[in-house]
Amino acid sequence: MGQLALQRVSPLASLPRRLPSLPLPSSYSPSLLFATASPRPRRHGFFLARAMSSHIVGYPRIGPKRELKFALESFWDGKTGVDDLQTVAANLRNSIWKHMADAGIKYIPSNTFSYYDQMLDTTAMLGAVPSRYGWKNGEIGFDVYFSMARGNDSVPAMEMTKWFDTNYHYIVPELGPDVEFSYASHKAVDEFKEAKALGIDTVPVLIGPLTYLLLSKPAKGVDKSFCMLSLIDKILPIYKEVFDDLKSAGARWIQFDEPILVMDLDTNQLQAFSDAYSHMESSLAGLNVLIATYFAGVPAEAYKTLTSLKCVTGFGFDFVRGLETLDLIKGGFPRGKLLFAGVVDGRNIWANDLSASLKTLQSLEEIVGKDKVVVSTSCSLLHTAVDLVNEVKLDKELKSWLAFAAQKVVEVNALAKSLSGVKDEALFSANSMGQASRRSSPRVTNAAVQQDVAAVKKSDHRRSTEVSARLQAQQKKLNLPALPTTTIGSFPQTADLRRIRREFKAKKISDIVYVQAIKVEFEKVVKLQEELGIDVLVHGEAERNDMVEYFGEQLSGFAFTSNGWVQSYGSRCVKPPIIYGDVTRPKAMTVFWSSMAQKMTQHPMKGMLTGPVTILNWSFVRNDQPRHETCFQIALAIKDEVEDLEKAGITVIQIDEAALREGLPLRRSEQEFYLDWAVHAFRITNCDVQDTTQIHTHMCYSNFNDIIHSIINMDADVITIENSRSDEKLLSVFHEGVKYGAGIGPGVYDIHSPRIPSAEEIAERINKMLAVLDSKVLWVNPDCGLKTRKYSEVKSALSNMVAAAKLVRSELIKS
């Protein structure tokens, strides 16, 4: 298998013989806001004219047409080799660097590209490979790297969880006192050299040591109370080796991403942060140091600790989600240091209000000094779509309201130029017209919807009967066995199935032909589940492209892109809808398909819906009203759908809230308000159903233990929840005495790995659950939906899951 080390032969070795064939991302023009900018002469990566003070925290790596996704999946399937994958990767990196250089960005990041995840890259850099992957020493190769990310036939993958409050997932490092760290991946240096060979000076980006350690977890067998910060003295020597290599390669800047600083850190953690950077000070000599924070404002004590560091040249702050940091800066900012001001939103797709941002930047400059403000993005642009120029279906008005990553690069530079006195009046005028158009457009506001939302705030929308009584009524109707089995919703999406949907969308096939094709797929999925012996069935969601997009396409107030893809993890990309206006449901969305599927079986068939909080958190949400107002609008639309499903005879309805946890604010002081309205929105959707209608919800890949009481407060009849990939972390909350009276299905196997667990392994997991959960409430199910898996994997894994449930069921009867 290929090695990451293959990139180290020469910085030119992985480059194509000619310039990348990928289309370069576009830039603003005054008329279209997304026409290609003309390149200007450069010398060593900088313009001959005085470079403006502009910076990008990071950039999407997946490619404008998901080039990396397809290259990865082709490589994993054995259809292409190492050279093919590395050529695509080099093309992407080069086009990104060239786009930023040609747009006039001064501080261009490198090492923000990743084949899977930047935290996993840091694990590779530090040689912190769990022993089960069999790595001993040397440069870490693709075989070990992708085994850590995805697992393999013999060992499971490392845990994956949400990156702060985003929909991006990172691979969680597994650390302990016996980990032997070593410099095992030179990727950061290699990519710096690669850019330099193109004539572009970059700022290498590393995950900072505090963020890396505090986002890690104890390895298997290590006490849960193990202090990760005790390892800081072991990893700093590796960081120092990286600094030495970067300096030898000619680097002048280095960026440490320390988003952990926006969290509520205690005194010991802040002291460890200060000590770590003080300890690295001598090794950093000769490098300008930028510490970037993002996703929220920095608390006062963290701000004080951060800005007292002598080795740091510049400090990066998020002024989109952390505007309160302005007050701290007004109270004092270190003299002579640079302020990297994140005023361009890296997490949404709305065009920046350039005039308002310029005022903010000018006020900051008055505080910190002339030429000390660097215009930046609020965070990495990884979390937004790549390039608006690829969107041919969005109408002209809506397009004038938007900016994707490529356009945000131009916004950053335009603001930097304006701050220095070179204002593009035509660009600012076009931007102002777009802002005014959005504020006055009649497509944005619906007075009736606004009134309905105002009314829902007057009730807490709880079901009138306690969950224990509801479960009894439901059991009489459903007659399910102990440890009932089910799946989460989706089944594999084959190439033929995707082709059928594409042809229907392109109007190449008729409604009749399309419905018949989907019906055949339903029949296959239903038959398979019946043969396997699954108790509560799903229809497999063959008619759906994505669990959020499918619903958004049928709701008013939503718009959709053709290529607005955003990386979720690895090769998995999502295409978030754009919520631009008030939301209503013009007609039923799922009743036709759910009714069709229910008629194919005597077993209960779940009606499958996506919940309002997940639709909100997995969309690009309008920023002209509070998020909870938009969420309540979606909740009312889903409520109508739930009631129509019930009228159609669907007795089990699942309302997925996979993203409820990821929307939780990072600061504790803001969490209660969010959880109150998020839980309320879920309850709105099902508050009026009958006791005999069983309401399920599903959550995946987050740390739920700290919000377990809010989950209970959702008042669902059954919750299925990710558990297996996180080493049954969820079960610990029940060991601690939390009582959960509703049905619950902690996942028994990880669907994001091709590995198929045995029936005995799954049975062992079920028995662990029974140690803390009553058999009367326990369900058996996978961690998540099966959309990304192959049918061969699904059949084997589900067969083992059902066999395990039957085995444990028989043991319960005996005992």
Share of the chain above pLDDT 90, in %: 84
pLDDT at residue 148 above 60?
yes
What are the residue boundaries of the structural domains of the chain, listed by start?
A: 118-184+204-440, 467-814
Residue 155 in contact with residue 695, Cβ under 8 Å? no
Residue 752 known to be catalytic: yes
Please say if the pLDDT value at position 2 is more than 80: no
Sign of CA dihedral 739, 742, 743, 745: negative
Residue-wise pLDDT tens digits, 97-112: 999 999 999 999 999 9
The model's pLDDT over 746-780, given as tens digits with 9 standing for 90+, comes to: 999 988 788 899 999 999 999 999 988 899 999 99
187-237 per-position pLDDT tens digit: 999 999 999 999 999 999 999 999 999 999 999 999 989 999 999 999 999
What's the pTM? 0.89
Q: Which residues contact 117 (CB under 8 A, 6 or more apart)?
A: 149, 169, 170, 171, 569, 570
Taking alpha carbons only, the member of 702, 729, 704 closest to residue 714 is 704
pLDDT higher than 90, residue 416 = yes
Identical fold at 118-184+204-440 and 467-814? yes
Q: Are 127 and 95 in contact (CB under 8 A)?
A: no
For 118-184+204-440, the fitting CATH number among 2.60.40.420, 3.40.50.150, 3.40.190.10, 3.20.20.210 is: 3.20.20.210
What are the tens digits of pLDDT across the range 25-35? 343 332 333 33
Residues 6+ apart with CB under 8 A from 785: 487, 488, 489, 490, 541, 547, 751
Can you tell me the distance from the alpha carbon of 249 to that of 303, in angstroms, rounded to the nearest whole number?
Answer: 32
10 Å CB burial of residue 654 (0-12, 13-18, 19+) is: buried
What is the residue-wise DSSP string for 245-272? Answer: HHHHHT--EEEEE-GGGGS---HHHHHH
pLDDT of residue 702: 57
Residue 15 scores a pLDDT above 90? no
What single-letter amino acid sits at 632? Answer: F
> What's the whole-number mean pLDDT along residues 304-320?
98
Q: What's the chain's average pLDDT?
A: 91
Nearest to 280 by CA among 311, 255, 254: 311
Give the separation between CA 655 and CA 674, rounded to whole angstroms: 19
In this predicted model, what pLDDT tens digit does every residue of 382-392 receive, in sequence order? Answer: 999 999 998 98
pLDDT at 465: 95
Contact 698, 198 (CB under 8 A): no
CA distance 405 to 620: 13
* pLDDT tens profile 526-566: 999 999 999 999 999 999 988 999 999 999 999 999 999 99
Its CATH class, for the domain covering 467-814, is alpha beta
SS3 content of the chain, % helix, strand, coil (to 5): 45, 15, 45
| C-alpha–C-alpha distance, residues 96 and 406, integer Å | 9
The residues pairing with 744 across neighbouring beta strands, listed in sequence order, are 719, 778
**Which regions of 723-796 does DSSP assign to beta strands (E)?**
743-746
